[in-house]
Amino acid sequence: MRPARHRRSGAQRRRLGALRARRGLVGTVFASGRALRVDAAQSDPRFRRIEAFGETVYRSFLGVRIASGGRAIGVLSVRHVSQRAVTDGESALLARAAATLGPLVLSAQEPQPPTAAGARAGLVLPGIAASPGACVGVGVAPLPTANLDAVSDRSCEDPTLEEDRFRRAVQEVRAEVRDSGARLARTIPSEAHAMFRMYAALLDDETLFAGGIDRIRAGAWAPGALRAAVAEHTQAFDAMEDPYLRARGEDVRGLARRVLLRLQSSATAATTYPECTVLIGEEVSVARIADVPPELLAGIVCTRGSPHSHAALLARALRIPAVMGVMDATLARCRGGRL
């Protein structure tokens, strides 16, 4: 809702004429800039319902203003037909969503001329600071990528050959991790280098992929067996309250994606990295970071991850800036652009 700025047709003005600007629960949030939680909306004196909108009757309301650069843009609200108390967690989640949406909505409303590289001048990418610093570089999204969640369940014709293919993929990723660690050994502190030894140990650990091997022997194809085994293995990490331990689940998924990539393609095309590379993507793992020569890597921007992830720890060890939790919609436009 942004009543003060938009021009409307006559029909729209007549429909909105029943409610003055900045009235009602949504209007209150927009005018005050404060989040509003109402457990019994119908009995709240600020509640207004306009029949012409065909609005569903609701009883619980949570609203947060969307703003960017001190400029009010709209209101993000959630309504529930039954009367219930809105939790602090729900309020925090909506506040984070509104903070992320602000720059996105603003850039969509006011298109800016593209630069020669194709990125939008002045585009703001809101996210979580995982490593401090500042840089100017070129957005590079390493290809190809592998999506564990998109893998379907299928059967294989020869379980023995499928198991060999699976083990070979794991061995290739193990070699990649060790080579990457060796390349960075002189660049990062020994404590940070220890994570590469941990990754290699994970890939050596039979228990990590034991569930996958069992499924393959039962007739499943390797990618599906890998997806199921990793989901089973990371479930405990994801349920942990400690953010550092919870981030270890993402480390395992990062390794699994490398294995899946090997299973999906017998040859992985090498990526050419320009000077001042800013790695971008859904997930930028430690292995992805190590793929880039340290002298060419300027920064990291990704949609997944946290300041507690090993990717963030490695970025801090390399003394390069890293931003995580950036929306896909904006990041997708930055490939090849100047950041």
Per DSSP, the residues of 251-300 read HHHHHHHHHHHHHH-SSPPPPP--TTEEEEES---HHHHHHS-GGGEEEE
The CATH architecture one would assign to domain 10-109 is 2-Layer Sandwich (3.30)
Nearest residue to 98 (alpha-carbon basis) of 143, 36, 176, 20: 36
- The CA-based diameter of the chain, rounded to the nearest angstrom, is 72
Gap between the Cα atoms of 167 and 146, Å rounded: 18
Superfamily of domain 148-264: PtsI, HPr-binding domain (1.10.274.10)
Query: Which tokens go with 99?
Result: 């903070």
Tell me the residue type at 218.
Answer: A
Band of the pLDDT at 12, cuts 50, 70, 90? very low
The CA distances from residue 94 to 27, 75, 88, 99, 302, in Å, are 17, 11, 10, 9, 21
Band of the pLDDT at 215, cuts 50, 70, 90? very high
- Which DSSP symbol is given to 43? G
pLDDT in tens, 17-70: 444 556 788 888 888 888 888 887 777 778 776 554 445 567 788 888 888 767
Fold match between 10-109 and 148-264?
no
Q: Is the pLDDT of residue 6 over 60?
A: no
Superfamily of domain 128-143+270-334: Phosphohistidine domain (3.50.30.10)
CB 329 within 8 A of CB 167: no
Domain ranges of the chain: 10-109, 128-143+270-334, 148-264
Gap between the Cα atoms of 230 and 217, Å rounded: 17
Residues 6+ apart with CB under 8 A from 172: 262
pLDDT in tens, 218-257: 999 999 999 998 888 888 777 777 666 677 777 788 888 8
CB 240 within 8 A of CB 221: no
